């Protein structure tokens, strides 16, 4: 079966090449059929790889290196993409999938634009498929086959991590299609409203799963790694955040191109950058230059090939942009004090924020190349990224109310007075009642400001209460996304500034206190799972009339010879009581188990806000009806 998959992958490569050639020749129909056939063959190829993992076929080197007969079925399946070679096979599948989806759903009425888009997407697939088959093949055989496999990295044996890579790749690779669309538009020097409507759909198709993928990765790190936080500014976390920031700028820029045919060159550049940052993320994760629990560290030779691909695609795109940008229409005139001006300011801040994250991610590598060891952590990002993000969010509700072309500033003073009053109220509450810092009070005011601004804009558009639920899905999508952003800010500020952390050492039957809870260690005993064994603690937590049982574990996977931390989390409605089991130590002459205990207030608002942003993006993907709206 694996030979069938290998053959199907080579046939898919040939068809992707045909898609590229015929697409660039303007043969939309032939390129479309080639795209669908290439995707179908790669799907067959990928499924044979999945079946090899399901059947524990250890004659396949990849299965022997990353699977085990005792693994639960979910992790056998996800093991197909829980490694470098398998993840690249998934990357190729998604790349070809977007080409096939474009062949079916791309409807611009401009055959040459669509054909060239499919052609460029085909050539992108050729590059990915060539790397897969000639430099990183998942189809290599072992003879003789081992009796047992090495197993999947225990940290990846988790439901969230089973779905995290596919979601990320839908986002990363989704921007390849937006890139192809931008390159095709620049070839004919037409980045206009028709192009923008199509680009907006595919940008959202990438942005929504990328948002979900980042959230899944963050939540996995929160409950699996045992460190109590939800964002660490890890280099690989940054690698996914950067294309997300560029993607957010692209979504706002493409609105101007669609509505006013403005920002044409800027929107095209953002489409190029979104894809290039996605490719850069793939390089950083797979080249071995970064140290991270997320990274697929591979040999430098394959990293060099990825770097060559990044330079090749990036050079082509930037040269094409340089040659064609001056020919793109400037659209209708606008001034700084208008919705266009505010959106341009929004884009510039997002670009600078992205470059700030990029500098913080790459600076340790540059320092290491110079023979120095420098670490860049949370303090750097707090001092640089956070103020820029705050400045961006302050103007967001006002921007929604501004008009195209030139804003009516008569209401500006009302908005300014409302915002200042809100900040003063929260600062007074923070200093007088809540005992929080002025920065935290400002952050809370900012979150409420975003929620209020989004709901106010919805009511302004609807005019009457009866019409609120008749508003187009696109308006609801914008509202939900911005409300979600506000809730995210509130949750992030409260959790970051109000987190409680302590260490408790308990003997069996002993008690201790943490975050107002009385903790009793009932027992610690050894248990076994399908492919692991563990020390499992059972604790009773009591606070007032509330009682909860928590069972943190410390697992050990013999096949991988690696321990993991399995936290216990009790949700109280106002936050999470979070516990991680440490080592047994002798304290005051008796053996005690050490626990790290956290209380993370309003942590659920962080993830609920992200879910609302993703749902809002999904609403914006809803097809528009040709009816009159307010």
Q: Are residues 237 and 111 in the same domain?
A: no
Residue ending a domain, choose from 97, 127, 153? 153
Measured CA angle at 121 (ends 117, 123), to 5 deg: 120
Phi, psi of 571 (to 5 degrees): -90, 125
SS3 assignment, position 609: helix
Helices 193-224 and 264-286: crossing angle in degrees, nearest 10, is: 30
> pLDDT tens digits, residue range 121-162?
999 999 999 999 999 899 999 989 998 888 777 877 888 888
User: Residue 377 contacts by C-beta under 8 Å, 6 or more apart in sequence?
Assistant: 233
- Whether 543 and 509 share a structural domain: yes
Selected residue with higher pLDDT from 559 and 35: 35
**Same structural domain for residues 27 and 137?**
yes
Mean pLDDT of 296-321: 77
> 76 with 57: CB under 8 angstroms?
no
**Segment holding 311, helix H or strand E:** helix 300-324
Tell me whether residue 370 is in a domain. Answer: yes
Is residue 586 located within the same domain as residue 522?
yes
Going by C-alpha positions, the residue among 473, 479, 432 that lies closest to residue 456 is 479
**Banded model confidence at residue 332, pLDDT cuts 50, 70, 90:** confident
pLDDT at 504 over 90: yes
Question: Which range of residues forms the domain containing residue 433?
Answer: 386-497
* Structural domain contains residue 613: no
Which residue stretches of 261-293 are H helix? Answer: 264-286
Same domain for 181 and 192?
yes
What pLDDT was estimated at residue 84? 87
* CA 164-218-503 angle, 5° bins: 135
- Whether 132 maps to a domain, the answer reads yes
Residue 411: predicted pLDDT: 67
Instruction: Say if residue 367 is in the same domain as residue 415.
Output: no
Q: Does one domain contain both 334 and 214?
A: yes
Residue 289 has pLDDT above 70, yes or no: no
**Residue 616 resides in a domain:** no
- Is the model's pLDDT at 605 over the cut of 70? yes
Closest CA to 165 of 289, 52, 78: 78
Q: What is the pLDDT of residues 183-228, one digit of tens each?
A: 999 999 999 999 999 999 999 999 999 999 999 999 999 998 888 8
Are residues 231 and 345 both part of a single domain?
yes
* Domain containing residue 569: CATH number: 2.60.98
301 pLDDT more than 80? no
Do 630 and 531 meet the contact criterion of CB atoms below 8 Å apart? no
User: Is the pLDDT confidence value at 590 over 50?
Assistant: yes
Q: Residue 628 pLDDT > 50, yes or no?
A: no
The Cα-based distances of 322 to 188, 268, 460 in angstroms read 14, 11, 41
- Residue 617 in any domain: the answer is no
Q: Tell me, yes or no, whether 169 and 141 share the same domain.
A: no
- How much of the chain, in percent, has pLDDT values that exceed 90? 62
Domain-located, residue 552: yes
Q: What percentage of the chain reaches a pLDDT higher than 70?
A: 95
- The pTM of this model reads 0.93
Structure confidence at residue 298 as a pLDDT band (50, 70, 90):
low
The pLDDT of residue 256 is 92
Lowest pLDDT segment from 209-213, 334-338, 470-474, 575-579? 334-338
Q: Is residue 277 within 8 Å of residue 351, measured between CB atoms?
A: no
Structural contact between residues 61 and 6, judged by C-beta atoms closer than 8 angstroms: no
Q: Give DSSP secondary structure letters for 515-567.
A: TTEEEEEEEEEEEE-SS-EEEEEEEEEEETTEEEEE--EEEEETTTTEEEEE-
Residue 578 pLDDT exceeds 70: yes
Q: Are residues 138 and 2 in the same domain?
A: yes
Question: pLDDT band at 629, cuts 50/70/90?
Answer: very low
Average the pLDDT over 534-556 and give the result: 95
Q: Locate 441 and state its tokens.
A: 């009070």
Q: Supply the mean pLDDT for the chain.
A: 89
* Residue pair 579/539 in contact by the 8 Å Cβ criterion: yes
Indicate whether 264 and 316 sit together in one domain.
yes
Domain stop point among 319, 348, 380: 380
Residue 268: its pLDDT value, please?
Answer: 94
pLDDT tops 60 at residue 306: yes
- Assess contact for 493 and 444: CB atoms under 8 A: yes
Q: How confident is the model at residue 465 (pLDDT cuts 50, 70, 90)?
A: confident
Q: Is residue 423 part of a domain?
A: yes
Q: Which of these three, 153, 173, 190, is where a domain ends?
A: 153
CA 306 to chain centre: 21
Q: Where are the alpha helices (DSSP H) in 136-234?
A: 159-187, 193-224
Q: For 575, left (φ over 0), alpha (ψ -120 to 50), or beta?
A: left
Which CATH number do you get for residue 52? Answer: 1.20.120
The pLDDT tens digits of the residues spanning 16-61 come to 999 999 999 999 999 999 999 999 999 999 999 999 999 999 999 9
Residue 108 burial class via C-beta count within 10 angstroms: exposed 0-12, middle 13-18, buried 19 and up:
middle
Q: pLDDT digits over 356-378, tens only?
A: 999 998 888 788 778 888 888 88
Q: Which two tokens stand for residue 582?
A: 């440490």
- Number of structural domains found in the chain: 4
Instruction: Work out the angle at residue 45's Cα, subtended by the Cα atoms of residues 23 and 17, and round it to the nearest 5 degrees.
Output: 20
Residue 623 has which token pair? 């097809």
Within this chain, do residues 437 and 509 fall inside the same structural domain, yes or no? no
User: pLDDT digit string (tens) for 90-122?
Assistant: 999 999 999 999 999 998 999 999 999 999 999
In this structure, of 239-243, 296-300, 415-419, the range with the lowest mean pLDDT score is 296-300
Tell me the pLDDT band of 627, cut-offs 50, 70 and 90.
very low
In a domain, 449, yes or no: yes
């Amino acid at each position: 079966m694996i030979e069938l998959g290998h053959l199907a992958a080579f046939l898919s490569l040939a068809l992707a090449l045909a898609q590229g050639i015929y697409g660039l020749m303007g043969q939309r129909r032939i390129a479309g059929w080639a795209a669908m056939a290439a995707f179908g063959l790669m799907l067959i190829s990928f499924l044979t790889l999945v079946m090899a993992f399901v059947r524990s076929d250890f004659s396949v080197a990849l299965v022997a290196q990353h699977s085990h007969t005792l693994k639960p079925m979910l992790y056998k399946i996800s093991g197909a993409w829980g490694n470098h070679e398998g993840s690249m096979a998934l990357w190729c599948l998604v790349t070809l999938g977007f080409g096939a989806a474009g062949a079916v759903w791309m409807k611009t009425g401009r055959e040459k634009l669509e054909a060239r888009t499919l052609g460029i997407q085909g050539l992108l697939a050729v590059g990915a498929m060539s790397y897969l088959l000639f430099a990183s093949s998942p189809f290599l055989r072992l003879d003789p086959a081992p009796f047992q496999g090495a197993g999947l990295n225990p940290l990846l044996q988790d439901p969230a991590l089973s779905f995290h890579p596919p979601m990320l790749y839908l986002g990363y690779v989704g921007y390849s299609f937006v890139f192809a669309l931008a390159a095709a538009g620049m070839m004919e020097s037409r980045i206009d409203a028709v192009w923008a409507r199509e680009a907006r759909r595919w940008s959202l198709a990438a942005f929504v799963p990328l948002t979900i993928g980042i959230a899944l990765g963050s939540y996995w790190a929160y409950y699996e790694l045992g460190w109590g936080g939800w964002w660490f500014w890890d280099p690989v976390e940054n690698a996914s955040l950067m294309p997300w920031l560029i993607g957010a700028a692209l979504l706002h820029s493409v609105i101007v191109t669609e509505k006013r045919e403005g920002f044409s060159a800027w929107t095209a550049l953002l489409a190029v950058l979104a894809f290039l940052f996605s490719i850069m993320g793939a390089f950083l994760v797979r080249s071995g230059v970064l140290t991270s629990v997320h990274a697929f560290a591979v040999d430098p030779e394959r990293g060099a090939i990825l770097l060559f691909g990044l330079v090749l695609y990036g050079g082509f795109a930037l040269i094409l942009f340089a040659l064609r940008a001056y020919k793109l229409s400037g659209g209708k005139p606008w001034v700084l004090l208008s919705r266009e001006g505010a959106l341009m300011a929004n884009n510039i801040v997002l670009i600078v924020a992205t470059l700030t994250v990029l500098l913080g991610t790459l600076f340790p590598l540059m320092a290491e190349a110079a023979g120095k060891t420098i670490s860049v952590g949370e303090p750097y990002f707090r001092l640089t990224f956070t103020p820029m993000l705050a400045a961006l969010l302050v103007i967001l509700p006002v921007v929604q109310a501004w008009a195209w072309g030139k804003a009516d500033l008569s209401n500006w003073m009302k908005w300014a007075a409302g915002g200042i009053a809100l900040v003063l109220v929260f600062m007074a509450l923070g200093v007088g009642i809540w005992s929080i810092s002025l920065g935290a009070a400002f952050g809370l005011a900012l979150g409420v400001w975003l929620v209020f601004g989004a709901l106010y804009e919805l009511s302004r558009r609807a005019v009457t209460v009866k019409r609120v639920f008749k508003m187009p899905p696109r308006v609801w999508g914008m509202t939900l996304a911005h409300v979600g952003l506000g809730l995210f800010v509130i949750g992030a500020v409260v959790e970051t500034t109000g987190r409680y952390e302590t260490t408790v050492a308990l003997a069996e039957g002993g008690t201790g206190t943490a975050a107002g809870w009385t903790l009793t260690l009932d027992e610690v005993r050894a248990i076994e799972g399908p492919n692991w064994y563990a020390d499992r603690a059972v604790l009773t937590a009591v606070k007032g009339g509330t009682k909860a049982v928590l069972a943190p574990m410390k697992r050990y996977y013999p096949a991988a010879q690696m321990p993991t931390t399995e936290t216990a989390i009790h949700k109280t409605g106002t936050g999470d009581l979070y516990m991680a089991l440490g080592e047994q130590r002798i304290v005051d002459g008796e053996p005690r188990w050490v626990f790290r205990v956290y209380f993370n207030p309003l942590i659920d608002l962080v993830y609920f806000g992200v879910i609302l942003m993703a749902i809002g993006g999904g609403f914006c993907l809803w097809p528009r009806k040709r009816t009159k709206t307010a």
